[in-house]
Structure 1
């Protein structure tokens, strides 16, 4: 495996997840805000590593595998942390539904992509514009919710929660688009 800069950025994105997790739960002033800054840096590297890999001709099988795994781990872990914090305060029902939708979609689409790859049709379920918008809304929402406290009087958490609701709608929409693209291959009469 060639550990080029794009792959290193992806590995660092995975490595920052436990740090964000620990900071989120530390009972130290501003630890959640530090966790948010690390989370934001990880989100930015999601774009940078792919851009650099393509620009420099350094795409690799390792990067193609780890990049989506890093994204899913980052989103899943942070959503579960946020849900845990809500439940600890006696809330969280609506957030639980949103988290279930988002994580459920990720599991479904990952399985669908794997199955389509076995059929040699992986490109039939490539990431589309709705999926990219979903990712942007999701990452912004999670970052705002991780921050947690008002910023100059602006209720960052509440705004993030609203954006997460939009992300959940986009999540369902993108999942339906993926399933629609794969549906012809799911029919029993489709030649494999």
Structure 2
């Protein structure tokens, strides 16, 4: 139950309160610190999955916690940036609704004995969200680049991937269960 990959996932979840604390601290320095913590937490997603697969440490708990950790950290960061004016509330709302629908579809599929794996499109969506959120957390110009503008552009790309991958999951679900 508790193994290295699951512990890494739990550490990623434990990073969430730092979003609250550091987003309340204005300024370029704390924004950069927060972005670094966010990226580190996001990278652990790759690490825990790699370790779990390579050393055959995949567990039911890990399969349950890993996607929750991903959504928790990304969605919490997006929610907290709404009152700061860094991200539109409608994008966050639709993103969270998509996540709930996809989780519901995967849950129903699982109860029917079918497993709908995370798609490459869904993984691209997550990567785009992580890059967008990182840039929006930095917010200030860095190395002559307007981080907020870059983050906003990538956020809209992530949003398109969010809608498209959500529809893709639903279509897969319908083809398998809806017949």
Instruction: Please say whether Structure 1 and Structure 2 have the same fold, judged by a TM-score greater than 0.5.
Output: yes
Deviation, 1:19, is 1.2
CA distance in 1, matches of 2:28, 2:171: 47
CA distance in 2, matches of 1:186, 1:53: 29
* Correspondence list, 1:111-150, <5 A: 111-121=104-114, 123=115, 125-150=116-141
Q: Give the 4+ runs in structure 1 shifted more than 4 A.
A: none
Q: Structure 1 residues 39, 133: closer, same or farther in 2, change over 3 A?
A: same
Q: Larger RCO: Structure 1 or Structure 2 (Cα < 8 Å, ≥ 6 residues apart)?
A: 2
CA RMSD of aligned residues (A): 1.5
Instruction: Tell which structure's C-alpha radius of gyration is larger.
Output: 1
- Counterpart contact for 1:20–1:36, Cα < 8 Å: no
Equivalenced residue count is 179
SS in 2 for 1:69: helix
Q: Secondary structure at the match of 1:52?
A: helix
Gaps of 5+ in 1: none
* Aligned residue runs from structure 1 range 1-192, under 5 A: 1=1, 3-27=2-26, 30-86=29-85, 95-121=88-114, 123=115, 125-185=116-176, 187=178, 190=179
Structure 1 residue 29: Cα displacement: 5.6
TM-score (normalised: structure 2): 0.94
Separation in structure 2 between the aligned mates of residue 15 and residue 164 of structure 1, nearest angstrom: 25
TM-score, normalising length: structure 1: 0.88
Q: Distance in 1 between matches of 2:9 and 2:19?
A: 16
